[in-house]
Structure formats: C-alpha cells, structure tokens
Structure 1
C-alpha cells in the first residue's frame, strides 16, 4: 500500500503509460490490427486460431506473445530487482526500449511483421521494468488489473473501510494517461501513419535522459571504513 509517492515515480509512471497507449493504438490501427501492449486479448485470439487450425495466425500471434515475454525477460536481465529504486539500470532499460521502438517504426514502414515483434518486445520490457512500489503492483502498458484494483478500492471505500488514497490516485493517473496516449496515437496515425511512434520514442528517450541525470545528482553511498586492528 502506497502511503507516500515520490514525484519521480508519479511522473515516470504517467509518461510511460501515455507512451504505451500511443504505441498500442498505432499497432492496432496499422496493418497487423494486433495489440502490442498487453497479452490477454492476444491469448484469446491465439486460442481461437488454434481452434480453427489457422496456421498463419498461430504463427503471427504466437510470435507477438513470445516477443512480449522476451521483452520482460530482457527487463529482468538488465534491471534484476523487484521493487522501484533509483539506479542506472532503469536508464539503460529505457534506452533499449527506445531503440526497439525506433526499429519497429522502420520495420512497420516496410509493412514488415517484425515491426510488431519489436514493438511488443518494447512493451514487455516496459511493463516488467516498473515492477512494484511499497507493495503496490505498478503496470503501465495495460489497464485490466489496474482497473480491477481501482474498483475493489472504491468498493471498500463505499463500504466504509480504509483505503490508500495515494495508491488509488496514482492508479487513476496511469489509467487516464494510457487513455490519453491512445487518443493521441489514433489522432496522429490517421495523419502521419506510423510516424505517430516518434511521440513514444521521444518520450522514452527523454525519460531515460532525465532519469540518468537525476541518478547522477544523488550522493554516492560511502562504504564504511574498516577498523584497523590495534597492534598488541
């Protein structure tokens, strides 16, 4: 339960959710018509493809699902921690995500399905990257679990039980930012096509830059000096 929310987590979660919403809408409106930011709906499509022995869809949807998983694995490899704490590893992960999104743009422009896989990998990396803070699960690329958590919190509040208002407020910000990113992505895709991806690419690059800058401003932790043994 979040009792106090650092500003860097608030802003970081908001801009990353906006970015993911924009990426996902561009993918859905593009030639693949397939989500890249979450798994549940794609698993249902994959199951339907298996049921109908649709080999082409099995291959394409399965590859997208696997790419999201690979992105999450990459996040665990680069960051290697379960809770949000400042450190250079997040900056490196953000730069990798930006590179994947840039690759996806060039591939999408050529109507190459590998663009879908690069975008899904970027989203998997981002979603696993944020992990948890103060026991609250933070996800920035999809809204299913977050909406469920918000609904449960509101239900508890209506029943007169105590809830964490900072947690609920943060979840609402993530929800609206993802929605806003999706709206911007749809607006831009209708006008510039996959050029809409340059909005999330820029956002992620700036997030990486400012995050690394903030990390550099932190005082280094001093190692405790070893006590010298006194000679007899």
Structure 2
C-alpha cells in the first residue's frame, strides 16, 4: 500500500491518465470507432467478429490488440523492471510514445487505419511503463481494474477496516484525470478533428523533458549503478 506518494509519481500519473483519456476519446470519435487505450472491449469486438466470420474486422481489431501488446513489450525492453523507481529510462519511453502519437496523427489525417495501430502501441507502452509502486497497481490508460480496486477499498472502509487513503486518493485522481482528458478530447475532436492529438503529444513531450531535466540535476534521480 502507498503510505506517502512522491510528487513525481502523483503528477506523472495524473497527466498521463489525462493524455490517455484524450487520445482514446479522439480515436473513438474518429472513422475507426475503436478504442486504443484498453483491451477488454476490443477483445469482445474481436470475438464478435470471429463469430460472424467478419474477416476485415478480425484482421483490424486483431492488429490493434497486437499493437497494444507490442507497445507493452517495447516498454519492458526500454525500461526493464515493473516497479516504479527514479532513474529508470522513463524519459526515453515517453519520447517514443510521443513519436508514436505523432505518427498516429499523421496517418489518421490520411484516413489510414495504421494510425489506429500506432496509437494503440503508444497506449500499450504507457500503460506498461506505469506499473506498480509500493505494492499498488498503477494503470493510466484504462479504469476497469482501478475502479474495482477503489470499490473494494471503499467497501473495506465502510466495514470499518483500515485502508490506504493515499492509495485510494491517487486512484481517484487517475480516474478523474482520465475522464477529464476524455472530455477535452471529445471537445477538441468536434472542432479540430485529429488535431486533438496535439494535446497529448505536447503533454507526453513535456513530461519526458521535465523528467530528463530533473534526473540530470538531482542526484537522487540519477540512474542507479548496475
């Protein structure tokens, strides 16, 4: 359980959740009508496509699922261990994510379905990058598990059992930030189309720059010796 949350994790999780919410809503409102930030619903659509022998949907949705997985694999390759720790290559992973989002925007502008795959890969990378801290699972691109964890914590609290209030508070922040990002993504997509992607691209680039700058100037953020 989280007893005290470092600021870099708090702000990082919040802004990345906002970014993912914006990306996912813009993707859903676009011509593909398919989520990029989570897998469960897409697996259900994939199963339905299999049941109806819809070959085009099977191939496209299957490719989107594999792209999310590929992003998570890339995150593991770049960063390494799953637990959050200062000094790891988060900045490099964030720059890669920003590049994937930019590629996605350019492809979406051409109505190229490969844009969906680039966006899904970016989300898979981000979701795997922010994994665990002090035993608490942290996810920033979807809310199913997080909502379940929040509900269980609230139930324990109502029953008079002790809970980690910092953990619950952080989960609530992630929830609201993802939702807020979705609102902004929908608002911007209705006005500038896929130009809405420049909000998450900017957020991710700034997060990478700030993290790298801080890790260069603060001894406690420098990469630990192997």
Range class of TM-score, shorter chain: over 0.9
Q: Is the 8 A contact 2:101 2:119 kept in 1?
A: yes
Task: Note if contact 1:88-1:212 (Cα within 8 Å) is conserved in structure 2.
Answer: no
- The 3-state SS of whatever aligns with 1:87 is coil
Distance in 1 (alpha carbons) for counterparts of 2:159 and 2:209: 44
TM-score (norm 1): 0.94
Question: What residue is the counterpart of 1:214 in the other structure?
Answer: 214
Unaligned runs of 5+ in 1: 224-232
Deviating beyond 2 angstroms after TM superposition, the runs of 4 or more aligned structure 1 residues are: 220-223
Once the two structures are TM-superposed, the CA of residue 150 in structure 1 deviates from its matched residue by: 0.2
Answer yes or no: is 1:148 the counterpart of 2:164: no
* Cα gap change, 1:221 to 1:108, in 2 (>3 Å): closer
Question: Counterparts in 2 of 1:93-132, with a 5 A limit?
Answer: 93-132=93-132
Over alpha carbons, which structure has the higher Rg? 1
Offset, 1:222: 9.4
The residue number in structure 1 matching 2:13 is 13
Which has the higher mean CA deviation after the structures are superposed, 62-71 or 81-90? 81-90
Alignment RMSD: 1.2
Other structure's SS at 2:89 match: helix
- Check the 8 A contact 1:75/1:125 in 2, yes or no: yes
- SS of 1:34 mapped into structure 2: coil
**Distance change in 2, residues 1:45/1:157 (3 Å):** same
Q: Is the 8 A contact 2:86 2:223 kept in 1?
A: no
CA distance in 2, matches of 1:177, 1:69: 24
Aligned to 1:59: 59
**Equivalent residue runs for 1:185-196 within 5 Å:** 185-196=185-196
Number of matched pairs: 223
Q: Which runs of 5+ in 2 are unaligned?
A: none
